[in-house]
Structure 1
Amino acid sequence: MIIILLILLLLVVLILNAFFLYIQKRGSKALGAEAPKVKMDEGLVEKTNLFLKKPKQEWTIKSSFNDSQLYGWFTDNQKKITVIMVHGFGVDHNSLNVHAQLFDSLGCNILQIDNQAAGKSEGKYLGFGYIESLDLKDWIKKLQKVRPNDKIILFGASMGAATVMLSSKNDLPKNVKLIIEDSGYTSAYDILSYHCQKRYHIKGRLLIHGISLISRVRAGFSYQKTDCRKALSENKIPILFMHGKNDFTVPFEMEHELSTCGQFPKMSYESLGVHIRSYYVDSKNYQEAVEKFLKLYL
């Protein structure tokens, strides 16, 4: 009987480990990381191409979390404001080139980073925003060392949005002035549960708790560390929440859960866009919301 129980336990662990690898290994598409095919507003492609032609400085840091070497690309516009761009799940810094050109056009320097286990950066496992939030703090230290007088804006999309929200509770330095999150989720538990129900018609809570235990052992964190609502309850930095009503990767309802947390200056913008594509289809209003936010709080 004991041998049978041990075999069953081993089988459970192997199954949970397989799910963990499917969800968190480099290049995972578990959350549907394939970008939605959306036609951009007129002029955005040309503006983005012009931005990409600008000289880029390649920066590197060592993650204080696990010593992975991380890469970033800095566009120096000789300004005193720098936006750190944090990409989402299963993609790399190039996924935010369109958004980067927006901030470039507003007269900001741009630091586009590859998260752990993405692009050119090292790392085996995605962190649902938790590992990435610790690495973001390292990037901020790097930026402060190179450009100590810059005001800093944090911009994140999807998992990157979770990253910048989670970082808000980490005693950020005073020159981090604003946070902008686009299409962020409330927690790893919530977003995985949503996709379990959407794709497989199961609640999956017990399964997700099990995968979280494997993540704690293999990746160094449990999903409890990914609660953006808890982080926002401790935040004091102004945040702009940007979400699309036709987002079926991160449900639009999460915007209300996030934007009603905490006591800090906040603004909200919404569109009819899909996941991280509001700017593509509503660029005028999106840009006006960003400009208004910067004017009010920067």
Structure 2
Amino acid sequence: MHKEKNKFKRILWIVLTLLVLTLTGSTLYLQWYALEAGGNERGKNLETSYAFMYEHYPFLSHWVDSLQRANALRDTFILSEDGARLHALYLYADTLTAHTAVAVHGYTDNAVRMLHIAYLYNHDLHYNVLLPDLRFAGQSEGDHIQMGWKDRLDVLRWMEVANELFAPKGSQTRMVVHGISMGAATTVCVSGEPQPPFVNCFVEDCGYTSVWDEYAGELKNQFGLPAFPLLHLASWATRLRYGWDFREASPLEQVKKCRLPMLFIHGTEDTFVPTWMGDSLYAAKTGIKEIWHVEGATHADSYLKYAKEYTEIVKSFVERYNIPKDMNNLPSQ
């Protein structure tokens, strides 16, 4: 009887040890997979990023080439408060203007992969444009993808830089912040913070409600796994290692604090960031808001499918709301 009891204890100890090792390994893999993305080769490779954009948006090739020949597409770097070196592309409008757009890229992307939105604002609407590389992407430093949460603080700094670059002498810019996918989530997170006086409106295209919701959905879709316990453990490990967690990173909570107009864009066939997330963000936003459900569009391809309509809808929105606040006489909704 005593030997059988000891045998049972050994087996239980082995099982528990294997369970702990399995959960630890799975947690670390999930964190690596989601936040480090294999070193984010896609987001750091500028050559393949340009090739991708020219393949999907052929009109960009001639435009970018003309900008580069004129030295009009420029680089700028800043140091963050924690010492990270951050990079952005920027370009001036073809005429002197205060109108400015800050365009924020998505998950495992970089500034180059927002050149189609730069084209919309700079070529079509004659805006100044700044395109930041978020951390761990493009030419910006960093050790992980921040999923838009801590990125909001960097983007707020980039907004100040854009105002310094583009403001006509003695005045301020008239700024819109426009993000796609994770960049949309970043934009929504930015919108919940106190805003500089030169920011007038936001455009979010297919952003998620929270990092927790997005990862829970992908765990189920890609791996057939429930959120518990891996997501709980990975969130806890992210808190220990990087100082934030998946529930804290909530565009849904941030949008409730937004007091400026916002345009929501979401494809009706988006399964990566499901359409219901865009609807939830829209419902949570108080005040002035508009939404465009893009029929048949999947994730982050609304402009690709409907460039003319996309441009017209964004143009109509910013013409109404990207004006100095002391001139705003906006109806409440």
Task: Give the TM-score of the pair, scaled to structure 2.
Answer: 0.80
Out of 138, 159, 162, the position equivalent to 1:143 is: 162
Q: Distance in 2 between matches of 1:254 and 1:11?
A: 32
Structure with more relative contact order (C-alpha pairs < 8 Å, separation 6 or more): 1
Give the whole-Å Cα distance in 1 for the aligned partners of 2:137 and 2:257.
29
Cα distance, 1:14 vs. partner? 4.0
Q: Is the 8 A contact 2:92 2:166 kept in 1?
A: no
Give the superposition deviation at 1:163: 0.2
Aligned residue number for residue 3 of structure 2: none
Instruction: Structure 1: state its 5+ residue gaps.
Output: none
Deviation of 1:204 after TM superposition, in Å, equals 2.0
Query: Are the equivalent residues in 2 in contact too, given 1:130–1:226 (CA < 8 A)?
Result: yes
Map residues 1-298 of structure 1 onto 2, 5 A cutoff: 9=20, 12-25=23-36, 26-27=39-40, 45-47=58-60, 49-51=62-64, 53-54=66-67, 55-64=72-81, 66-77=82-93, 78-104=96-122, 105-148=124-167, 149-271=172-294, 272-298=296-322
C-alpha displacement of 1:225: 2.4
Aligned residues between the structures: 290
3-state SS, counterpart of residue 163 of structure 2 = helix
Root mean square deviation, CA, Å? 2.6
Q: Contact 2:85–2:141 at 8 Å: present in 1 too?
A: yes
SS in 1 for 2:58: helix
Could you say what secondary structure the match of 1:53 adopts?
A: helix
Distance 1:262 1:186 in 2: 12
Instruction: Rate the CA distance shift 1:222–1:109 in 2: closer, same or farther, 3 A.
Output: same
Amino acid at match of 1:50: W
Whether the aligned pair in 1 keeps the contact of 2:148 and 2:189 (CA below 8 Å) is yes
CA distance in 1, matches of 2:309, 2:86: 34
CA deviations on 1:17-76 (whole Å, 9 max, x unpaired) are 2221111014188xxxx99x99999xx522563145311221111223x32111001101
C-alpha change, 1:39 and 1:269, in structure 2 (3 Å) is farther
Post-superposition CA distance 1:134-187 (Å, at most 9, x none): 110111222233344111110101000000100112111121111101111111
Between structures 1 and 2, the one with greater helix share:
2
Counterpart contact for 1:129–1:159, Cα < 8 Å? yes
Percent of counterpart pairs with the same letter?
Answer: 24
- Paired letter, 1:142: V
Shift in Å, 1:124: 0.9
Instruction: Confirm or deny: 8 A CA contact 2:273 2:299 kept in the other structure.
Output: yes
Question: Structure 1 residues 270 and 39 mapped into 2: Cα distance closer, same or farther (>3 Å)?
Answer: farther
Structure 1, 261-270 or 52-61: larger mean CA deviation? 52-61
Cα 1:96–1:38 change in 2 (3 A) is: closer
Write the distance in 1 (CA, Å) between the matches of 2:75 and 2:224: 44
What amino acid is the match of 2:126?
G
Larger C-alpha radius of gyration, 1 or 2?
Answer: 2
Matching residue's letter, 1:90: T
Instruction: Tell me the secondary structure at the aligned position of residue 27 of structure 1.
Output: helix
* 1:127 shift after superposition: 0.9
Q: Which residue identity lines up with residue 77 of structure 2 in the other structure?
A: T
Contact 2:187 2:204 in 1 (8 A): yes
Shift of 1:197: 1.3
